Amino acid sequence: MSNGTQSEDWAPSSWQQRRALQQPHYEDAAELAQATAQLAQLPPLVTSWEVLALKQALAEAQEGKRFLLQGGDCAESFADCSSPIISNRLKVLLQMSLVLVHGLKQPVLRVGRFAGQYAKPRSADTETRDGVALPSFRGDVVNGPEFTPAARRADPQRLIRAHAHSALTMNFVRALIDGGFADLHHPEYWDLAWVEHSPLAAEYRRMVAGIGDSLRFMETLAGPIAGFTKVDFFTSHEALLLHYEQAVTRQVPRHRGWFNLSTHFPWIGMRTAALDGAHVEYFRGIRNPIAVKVGPSVTPDQLLPLIDALNPQNEAGRLTLIHRMGNAKIAEALPPLLQAVMRDGRRVLWVADPMHGNTESTSNGYKTRRFDNIRGELDQAFDIHAAAGTRLGGVHLELTGEDVTECTGGARGLSEADLQRAYKSMVDPRLNYEQSLELAMLIVRKSVG
Ligand code: PEP
Ligand code: MN
């Protein structure tokens, strides 16, 4: 048995025997079956070769040879599947990775939270407004955000539309990268129009100039260096809606196993990571590298069996643990987990998500995060790992290339009053361009001292 993939007691549908949290209620089983059958016929969005290449790169990150940058929207939407939104998000991630490569002197593994990030866990099944209760919005793959019975109905046709929008996004990202958009010789391609006025612009431009000088110097000696004209970009999403994930799970005979071929790197959200739940059952049987979000209430006694269920062979690169504790809780919650995992010799990649434990509501009704709390959690994460003798090998962020005002603080000191200016997120508040770049600079300062 390897990863449970050869296991006779697993099938892409075996999760259906377990308790599946956070799933919508589909009214018409025949309509759902018709849509998933159609989805199962569509070509995959990624290949098993790419998936295994990412697993190898994640194994290298575990060994301290790479740093993972994973980021994108909390939730993608069909309406935002457009050229500027996709390319601006790519620009921010490329700029951040440039800062990280330059500062860490290490290859950066780039993984987008995109091309499939359409399903959201919710705290309640229904939402009530003015005495009217309707099903909660669960992401564009399930239903629509408008507060009407028609929009909130779980519509199986959205499974097909989500796959199509993922493919459109993926196709554009691949075309941009193949066309030279990520060429290190031309970082000016990644400038966002409003960046010129950023307080961080000067520091960023100094780094770009430094990299340009080094590149020209090396190429004078050695000729053009192919690796600098292209970068790899992988995709990830929370594999929450199991009917969707089952339909995009395919057997790959050459690699003797089942792969989720809708994304390179699916993850299990904090709310659906129960050992005996449907999500863990689904994930144990696929051969992709996978991640699990770990919140502050998880104990070592819960975490170790989960690791064993998901990575029974202790395979390198297979399992990433993304801790999301909150600035106030990380100092207490993280060390026992690091100790237990290290003591038992479990191979994992540790990644910090400093966003999801720091969400709060303002007095004027916005869901926000304070930049100081995000920075504080990340800062502590580096120190706690250093003290434990483990390595923080990456970050997981919610960000956008748009000039939004969703998180307070940062270089421009956004206040609660600023939130109403450009709050666009349908779900969680994202870092804007400047706040993202500032965080990348912080990571460099923490890592190199
Ligand atoms: C998310 O990543 O958007 C999310 C819901 O995270 P978590 O599962 O950590 O709460
Ligand atoms: Mn989120």
Per-residue pLDDT of the chain (449 residues; tens, 9 = 90+): 344 445 679 999 999 999 999 999 999 999 999 999 999 999 999 999 999 999 999 999 999 999 999 999 999 999 999 999 999 999 899 889 888 988 888 899 999 999 999 999 999 999 999 999 999 999 999 999 999 999 999 999 999 999 999 999 999 999 988 887 777 777 777 766 656 667 777 877 787 777 777 777 777 777 766 656 566 899 999 999 999 999 999 999 888 899 999 999 999 999 999 999 999 999 999 999 999 999 999 999 999 999 999 999 999 999 999 999 999 999 999 999 999 999 989 999 999 999 999 999 988 889 999 999 999 999 999 999 999 999 999 999 999 988 899 999 988 889 999 999 999 988 899 999 889 988 998 999 888 76
290 CA → ligand 2 middle, Å? 18
Burial class (CB in 10 A: 0-12, 13-18, 19+), 61: buried
Q: Which atom of ligand 1 is closest in space to residue 322's alpha carbon?
A: 9
pLDDT of res. 82: 97
Q: Which of 113, 293, 353 to mutate to test the pocket of ligand 1 (most atoms within 8 A of CB)?
A: 293
Global pTM reads 0.94
* Angle at which helices 330-343 and 371-388 cross, to 10°: 30
Q: Which atom of ligand 1 is closest in space to residue 353's alpha carbon?
A: 9
Q: Which residues of 13-27 are buried (b: 16+ CB within 10 A; e: fewer)?
A: ebbeebebebbbebe
pLDDT of res. 213: 77
pLDDT of res. 156: 98
**Which ligand lies nearest to the CA atom of residue 293 in the structure?**
1
208 CA → ligand 1 middle, Å? 33
User: Is residue 371 within 8 Å of 409, Cβ to Cβ?
Assistant: yes
Name which of 353, 351, 382, 355 is nearest 370 in CA terms. Answer: 355
Q: Which atom of ligand 1 is closest in space to residue 396's alpha carbon?
A: 2
What gap in Å lies between CA 39 and CA 5, rounded to an integer?
Answer: 22
**Which ligand lies nearest to the CA atom of residue 22 in the structure?**
1
Q: What are 69's strand-pairing partners?
A: 110, 395
Q: What are 431's strand-pairing partners?
A: 399
What gap in Å lies between CA 171 and CA 276, rounded to an integer?
Answer: 37
Q: What is the DSSP string of 37-104?
A: HHHHHSPPSS-HHHHHHHHHHHHHHHTTS-EEEEEE-SS--STT-SHHHHHHHHHHHHHHHHHHHHHH
163's CB contacts (< 8 A; 6+ apart) are 39, 42, 45, 244, 248, 262
Q: What are 250's strand-pairing partners?
A: 259
The residue whose CA has the least distance to atom 4 of ligand 1 is 269
pLDDT of res. 188: 72
pLDDT of res. 203: 78
Helix (H, G, I), strand (E, B) or coil at 237: strand
The token pair at 192 is 């966002």
Residue found by looking up tokens 């921010």 in the block:
92
pLDDT of res. 177: 87
Q: Which of 238, 294, 396 to mutate to test the pocket of ligand 1 (most atoms within 8 A of CB)?
A: 238
pLDDT of res. 192: 63
Q: What DSSP character marks residue 116? A: S
Q: Which atom of ligand 1 is closest in space to residue 272's alpha carbon?
A: 8
The residue whose CA has the least distance to atom 10 of ligand 1 is 270
CA distances from 330 to 297, 300, 323, 375 (A): 11, 14, 9, 12
158's CB contacts (< 8 A; 6+ apart) are 140, 141, 142, 143
Q: Which residues of 34-46 are buried (b: 16+ CB within 10 A; e: fewer)?
A: ebbeebeeeebbb
The residue whose CA has the least distance to atom 3 of ligand 1 is 74
Any residues with Cβ below 6 Å from ligand 1, and which?
74, 121, 238, 269-271, 293, 324, 356, 428
356 CA → ligand 1 middle, Å? 6
304's CB contacts (< 8 A; 6+ apart) are 340, 341, 344, 346
CA distances from 365 to 146, 362, 423 (A): 18, 5, 12
What gap in Å lies between CA 166 and CA 168, rounded to an integer?
Answer: 5
